[in-house]
Amino acid sequence: MPIAILSEHADLAESVRDLVKRVAPSDVLHEALETPIANPPSYWKAAAEQGLQGLHLSEDVGGQGFGILELAIVLAEFGYGAVPGPFVPSAIASALIAANDPADKRLEGLASGETIAAYAIDSGLTATRQGGGLVIRGEVRAVPAAAEASLLVLPVSIDGGEAWVLLDADQVEVEGVQSVDPLRPLAHVRANAVEVADDRVLANLGRPLARAVITTLLSAECIGVARWATDTAAAYAKIREQFGRPIGQFQAIKHKCANMIAETERATAAVWDAARALDEVHGGKADSHYEFAAAVAATLAPVAAQHCAQDCIQVHGGIGFTWEHDTNVFYRRAIVLAACFGRAADHPQQVIQEATTTGMRPIDIDLDPDTEKLREEIRAEVAALKALSGEERTTAIAEGGWVSPHLPKPWGRAAKPVEQIIIAQEFSSGRVKRPQMGIAAWIIPSIVAYGTDAQQQRFLPPTFRGEMIWCQLFSEPGAGSDLASLTTKATKVDGGWRITGQKIWTTGAQYSQWGALLARTNPSAPKHGGITYFLLDMAAEGVEVKPLRELTGNAMFNTVFIDDVFVPDDMVLGEVDRGWEVSRNTLTNERVSIGSSEPPFLASLEQFVQFLADGQFDQIEQYEAGRLIAEGHAAKLLNMRSTLLTLAGGDPMPAAAISKLLSMKTGQGYAEFGVSSFGTDAAIGDQGELSGKWAEYLLAGRATTIYGGTSEVQLNIIAERLLGLPRDP
């Protein structure tokens, strides 16, 4: 999924994609590996006619008046095409000048495409004050597109700090050097007592903002590279055959490709948010936390580009290691892009610094002002609920459809996605708690969709009040992730069914009054047929619950023995033999949420950040911890993008599926890091000790990549459904 969510952004991405396909096909890229690129490149005029050089620049200087987010969308498409030449460096340089002063007249040439600019993120230049300006000396190494540019935006050291200056190319010595990526030329720039007037100093461009602009836009190009590598690897895996079948059918290849798209999606979410944060700064929002957002993107995106390019070569095998294959072009681009970020360790360390001081960037959704009338109405209703107390409030919340507002009336409020978000925000800000459904949240939609009137009236009201606890009796010792292989048997008798079997990993069964039970009613039917969905009274004769003690020493899960238990006909949910359909039911008007939920028995991202704030860690530990924070924050962003896609009428499934996979793994990482930091105290299991608390998180975390579908099964699902790789035979 590209950066774009809104339809107008998707249209922009598509138009740029079409341009890139025309001007930078494979043969052009390979020619550029051997032959110096024309300056300006052949596509420069076409890009200018499309307004791309000035897309992000003010209309006052001839630009189109859009922002960093729109520019990031363009640069991601240029990354997807590995477009040669100075377009990306020039766009970044113009963004730096505009960040200092959007009305700077020197932007006019950049907006029209008449001027090409270059920038550097680090510099060996020093400046001394002289008269009404500066005198600059020193060298800047490996400046992208410096030899093609007529205007340079460079940092200089002065008075113990840093300033950014504009230099004309004819004021300095420019020495072209061989680039690892010939499509992105480099040059050293030397200044020998170059005099710079005050109007050439970008006085409003501080180091934090400059680095955030540079790294965010570089990150946008990185995710284009990562997406190309992922798409190309998956396409090859579908057609390349070995041992008589497509290599994409082998789980090793399937999981590699699934991990590629997961890493790409996570980095994409981070870049999208970093670009939004910079646009908020331009809009005057002081607390956008743009430095944190940019550091998260810079931590994830260049790594994603390199990893995916490497894995793309691996999937292609020997052909991927040849000069003639396009993998050569994109791997070289990924290497040079990663170098352009400067020291890789700086960005995770900045993530920690920002997270533990100014704080992480909030994850919330700003809705259209047109929704304010609806918000006022909901706020008033929530306030009225808050005025009630005890059981009266609980009943009013349940009967008002507030617990699951996405459900149809009378059980919900038939709330559209926007209304669901407002309800969640207002209940949270009003500090009004709604009954927690737990496992019942997965069962209620099926009762609403398939239940009889009698079943709905009997089960839904007390469930919404939090009085009826449910468990889900699906998994079996021989049918875990492969649920359709279940063997619990239901035999028809007068007035109902006799059911015998065993269920396992049943969360909360020891506390539940009722359970949702799948049993095989027709052994002759196909694997996914012949299964019926029953509502089981957990107090019925023949039901035995045995808590299953986990490696934590606790018993969240259970084994449930069902020994010739009678279930009446009126406890069949839906049609006999069609329980698989019922179990997989989701309503058309699906539930949406903001941010990803974190299990209470695991360390949350906020707890991990607080743990870091309270401790002392060396640079190696800070690098690892910063990476974990970036990954955890980006997983939450994926979930928010899923919500926004729902609001925009798109498909939220890719972001949601990948968020689940990644957030569980990252949660385990928090605990692993925490425990490893205690040294010998990590052996202490007393939860009264901080080390014991984190040890408990570590032990409990092993379950998260197993329950709800193991990570391995999730990888299969992602590869098959999102990348279209062939299913296992």
Residue with tokens 């991202």: 605
Structure tokens at 512: 């539940």
CA–CA distance, 37 with 417 (Å, rounded to integer): 49
Mean predicted confidence (pLDDT) in 402-413: 93
Which pLDDT value is given to residue 572? Answer: 97
Residues 6 or more apart whose Cβ sits within 8 Å of residue 25: none
Q: Which residue is it, tokens 């939090």?
A: 466
Question: What's the pTM value of the predicted model, to 2 decimals?
Answer: 0.90
Weakest-pLDDT range from 142-146, 168-172, 371-375, 487-491? 371-375
Separation between Cα atoms, residue 459 and residue 545, nearest integer Å:
22
76 C-beta neighbours (distance < 10 Å), count: 30
| DSSP string over 116-144 | -EEE-SS-EEEEEEETTEEEEEEEEEEEE
In contact, 574 and 321? CB cutoff 8 Å: no
Mean pLDDT score, 158-177: 94
**Token couple for 462:** 């007390």
Both tokens of 605, joined, read 């991202």
Q: Read off the pLDDT band of 587 (50, 70, 90).
A: very low
344 near 276, Cβ under 8 Å? no
Using CA atoms, how far apart are residues 490 and 566, in angstroms rounded to an integer? 9
**Domain 7-117: CATH architecture, name and number where available:** Orthogonal Bundle (1.10)
Give the residue ranges of DSSP H helices in 162-250.
Answer: 207-239
* Cβ contact 506:473 at 8 Å: yes
For residue 352, pLDDT over 90 is answered with yes
**Residue 53 CB contacts under 8 Å (≥ 6 apart), including other chains:** 47, 87, 90, 91, 94, 110, 111, 112, 113
> Phi then psi for 578, rounded to 5 degrees?
-120, 30
pLDDT in tens, 64-114: 999 999 999 999 999 999 999 999 999 999 999 999 999 999 999 999 999
DSSP structure class, residue 319: G
User: What three-state secondary structure class fits 254?
Assistant: helix
Residue 282 predicted with pLDDT over 50: yes
What confidence score (pLDDT) does residue 589 get?
A: 39
Q: What is the pLDDT of residue 595?
A: 47
> Averaged over 298-302, what is the pLDDT?
98
What integer pLDDT is reported at residue 21 of this predicted model? 95
Q: What percent of the chain has pLDDT over 70?
A: 96
Cα separation, 121 vs 549, in Å, equals: 55
Architecture per CATH, 448-583: Beta Barrel (2.40)
Distance from C-alpha of 313 to C-alpha of 534, rounded to nearest angstrom = 50
Contact 567, 557 (CB under 8 A): no
Q: Which helix (H) or strand (E) holds 314?
A: helix 290-316
| Model confidence at 480: pLDDT above 80 | no
Burial class (CB in 10 A: 0-12, 13-18, 19+), 626: buried
Q: Please provide the DSSP assignment of 452-518 as one string.
A: -HHHHHHHHHHHHTT-S-EEEE--BTTBSS-GGG---EEEEETTEEEEEEEE-S-TTGGG-SEEEEE
| Residue ranges matching CATH 1.10.540.10 in the chain | 7-117
Question: Above 90 in pLDDT, residue 128?
Answer: yes
- Determine the average pLDDT of the residues in 143-162: 94
Residue 706's pLDDT is 81
Helices (DSSP H) in 512-618: which residue ranges? Answer: 579-583, 605-613
Question: pLDDT tier at 20 (50, 70, 90 boundaries)?
Answer: very high
- Token reading at 550: 């986990």
Q: How far apart are CA 196 and CA 289, in angstroms?
A: 33
For residue 564, give every residue at least 6 positions away whose Cβ sits within 8 Å of its Cβ, in sequence order, or none. Answer: 498, 499, 500, 542
The yes-or-no verdict on residue 592 having pLDDT over 60 is no
560, 545 contact by CB (below 8 A): yes
Lowest-confidence pick of 398-412, 489-503, 631-645, 663-677: 631-645
Query: How many Cα atoms sit within 13 Å of 380 on the Cβ side?
Result: 5
pLDDT of residue 543: 97
For residue 567, the surrounding DSSP H or E stretch is: strand 557-568
Asked if 315 and 233 touch (Cβ cutoff 8 Å), the reply is: yes
DSSP 669-725: HHHHHHHHTTGGGGG---TTSHHHHHHHHHHHHTTTTTTTS-HHHHHHHIIIIIS-P
Q: What is the DSSP letter of 366?
A: P
Band (655; pLDDT cuts 50, 70, 90): low
Q: Strand, helix or coil at 289?
A: coil
Strand-strand pairing, 161-168 and 173-177: unpaired
pLDDT at 598: 67
Kindly tell me if the per-residue pLDDT of 486 is higher than 80.
yes
User: Over 70: is that where the pLDDT of 483 sits?
Assistant: no
Q: Model confidence over 599-632: pLDDT tens digits?
A: 777 889 999 999 999 999 999 999 999 999 999 9
Residue 661 or residue 224, greater confidence: 224
Mean pLDDT of 425-445: 89
- Which three-class secondary structure state does DSSP give residue 246? strand
- For residue 522, the one-letter residue type is N
What's the DSSP call for residue 184? Answer: S
Residues in the chain: 729
Token look-up 């009225």 returns: 384
**C-alpha to C-alpha distance for 282 and 67, rounded to whole angstroms:** 8
For 143, 413, 665, 694, 701, the CA distances from 698, given in Å and listed in that order, are 45, 40, 12, 6, 5
Confidence of residue 428 (pLDDT cuts 50, 70, 90): confident
**Could you give the angle at the alpha carbon of 721 between the alpha carbons of 719 and 726, nearest 5°?**
65
Residue-wise pLDDT for 176-227, tens only, equals 999 999 999 999 999 999 999 999 999 999 999 999 999 999 999 999 999 9
The 8 Å CB, 24+ separation contacts for 623-628 are 623/345, 623/348, 623/349, 624/348, 624/673, 625/348, 625/352, 625/673, 626/295, 626/299, 626/347, 626/348, 626/349, 626/350, 626/351, 626/352, 627/299, 627/348, 627/351, 628/666, 628/669, 628/670, 628/673
How far apart are the C-alpha atoms of 671 and 604, rounded to whole Å? 10
Sequence ranges of the chain with CATH classification 2.40.110.10: 448-583
In whole angstroms, how large is the CA radius of gyration of the chain?
29
Phi-psi region of 91 (alpha: psi -120 to 50; beta: other; left: phi over 0): alpha
- Average pLDDT value for the chain: 92
